[in-house]
Structure 1
Amino acid sequence: MPPEENAQTRVAIVTGGSRGIGREAVTRLGADGYSVVVGYAGNRELAEAAVKEIAAVGGRAIAVQADVAEEDQVAALFDAAEAEYGGGGVDVVVHAAGRMYLAPVADLDLAKLDALHRTNIRGTFVVAQQSARRIRRGGALITFSTSVVALALPGYGAYSASKGAAEALTMILARELRGRDITVNTVAPGPTATDLFLEGKDEETVARMAAMPPLERLGTPADIAEVVAFLASPAGHWVNGQVIRANGGIV
């Protein structure tokens, strides 16, 4: 990406952009001057709130509903970006959409396993496929895994396995995009104070997990969005094909 390129002309798509880390990434990229497409699965109200937040500070954003596991709907995210922002293309894709179910391997409902695979594996692959076809030169694809892949916590088997698939894709796609000047990286947060993480956990469990990193706290969506912004920026463009464990030193 040429260093002289003005970030005000650049376009970003964020899946899972209505909540949690995705929402914070939308806000952060909007503050950096990106024109943003906020991809959301079902909560239009939250997605529109993110759009209004960016508009309130002079930025540009639209909300587009899409199931990340459906090729035509993900393609429509890119179509919407090109139609709304002048047809020049998309520079950054942040794939933050995800699903989590926790249970021991012996007890997990296989219907939930299928749902995890559909969103976390197929969805990541579909978004990566469209990104590989349509991100313009100098751009970046940023996907998400989890530090639980390295922590190997009981109860996280199905979720961790689905995110391990995203990690496996990262370097392969980076190499397949040789000559395109496009980076592919995966961010693997540790325990982060989002609705997805906090759901179903009692205060004792949350406190115990917050104490695990040497920094002795949970991560915040803003912590992770800063990593995303770096990888999307010219400063982060030499980082490629990597899984970045943003977790306060937990592993």
Structure 2
Amino acid sequence: MTTRSRVALVTGASRGIGAETARQLAADGFDIVLAARSEMPLQHVAADITTTHDGAAHAVPTDVTDPDAVAALVETTLERFGRLDTVVVNAGTGERRNVPLTELSLAEYRTVRATNVDGAFYTTRAVVDHLRETDGALVFVGSYKGKYPSTSTPVYAASKWWLRGFAQSVAGRVGPDGVAVSLVNPTGVTTDFGRDTRDQTNEELLDAEDALSASDVAETIVTAVDQDAPGAITELDLFRRDIYERF
């Protein structure tokens, strides 16, 4: 295992889009710092990366809803690698589908907000100055539901609408300083998203032949990361080909 010249931090990296993004960034020549709450799955991804690639993969169990934990994550990254070139803000959670607003618990609402909104803010706040130093890349994983209404999951959709506005506003702040800010909006992806809130995960619910895979989204994220200056992929919609049929 050798140390490479570029370092990427990925949140929500223990499974799904985050884990696959970490793998593809490692294949692209990055050392990787993986963050998520679940330590054992995170360690498994790190071990897989170090076995498959020459670079380093360091797992840091982190709850992105805790600003002190996020600050410690970034500090650990810098202590270990000395720099930060790319950050993928991927950690997120959903809500139960089709629950009347009057029956949606405040705890569930706050969980979605804390992870998807507060977690994205805490992560961004902790990394932007370090990305300025390297002319780095900051990628937010949004959603199709961040551009169109979702009657089945209005709180989740609202959190992704917020993320979209935040990402583009941050781009206005740090783009002039050399940081490339990108927002990737996928439609439904065949992962275990929904495992804590639904009877069926996306992997069980979606037809793999028609839906996106985690690998599809990760490939798009890496494309955004690899965009050469002065260009930046500011927003990229990665939709299944038949998505507009529903309209």
The TM-score normalised by the length of structure 1 is 0.85
CA shift for structure 1 position 68: 0.9
CA shift for structure 1 position 240: 4.5
1:206 is aligned to 205
1:139 is aligned to 136
2:7 is aligned to 11
CA shift for structure 1 position 17: 0.5
1:45 is aligned to 40
Matching of residues 61-80 of structure 1 within 5 Å: 61-80=57-76
Q: Share of identical aligned residues, percent?
A: 26
1:96 is aligned to 90
> SS where residue 195 of structure 1 aligns?
coil
CA shift for structure 1 position 96: 1.0
2:117 is aligned to 121
Alignment-mate amino acid for residue 50 of structure 1: V
Q: Residues of 1 paired with 2:222 and 2:85: CA distance?
A: 13
Q: Residues of 2 paired with 1:234 and 1:23: CA distance?
A: 21
* RMSD of equivalent CA atoms: 2.3
CA shift for structure 1 position 176: 0.7
2:184 is aligned to 187
The TM-score normalised by the length of structure 2 is 0.87
2:17 is aligned to 21
CA shift for structure 1 position 8: 3.5
> SS where residue 49 of structure 1 aligns?
helix
For these two proteins, the number of residue pairs brought into alignment is 234
CA shift for structure 1 position 140: 0.7
Say whether the 8 Å CA contact 1:105–1:155 is kept in structure 2: no
Does residue 56 of the first structure (1) align with residue 56 of the second (2)? no
Does residue 223 of the first structure (1) align with residue 223 of the second (2)? no
Q: Residues of 1 paired with 2:44 and 2:136: CA distance?
A: 27
Q: Residues of 2 paired with 1:178 and 1:20: CA distance?
A: 29
Alignment-mate amino acid for residue 84 of structure 2: V
CA shift in 2, pair 1:179/1:82, >3 Å = same
Say whether the 8 Å CA contact 2:85–2:137 is kept in structure 1: yes
1:247 is aligned to 239
CA shift for structure 1 position 148: 1.9
Structure 2 portions without partners, runs of 5+: none
2:168 is aligned to 171
CA shift for structure 1 position 15: 0.5
1:238 is aligned to 231
CA shift in 2, pair 1:108/1:184, >3 Å = same
Does residue 157 of the first structure (1) align with residue 154 of the second (2)? yes
CA shift in 2, pair 1:94/1:236, >3 Å = farther
Say whether the 8 Å CA contact 1:104–1:155 is kept in structure 2: no
Alignment-mate amino acid for residue 221 of structure 1: A
CA shift in 2, pair 1:19/1:233, >3 Å = same
CA shift in 2, pair 1:107/1:45, >3 Å = same
Say whether the 8 Å CA contact 1:69–1:118 is kept in structure 2: yes
CA shift in 2, pair 1:68/1:75, >3 Å = same
Per mean C-alpha deviation after superposition, the further-off stretch among 166-175 and 228-237 is: 228-237
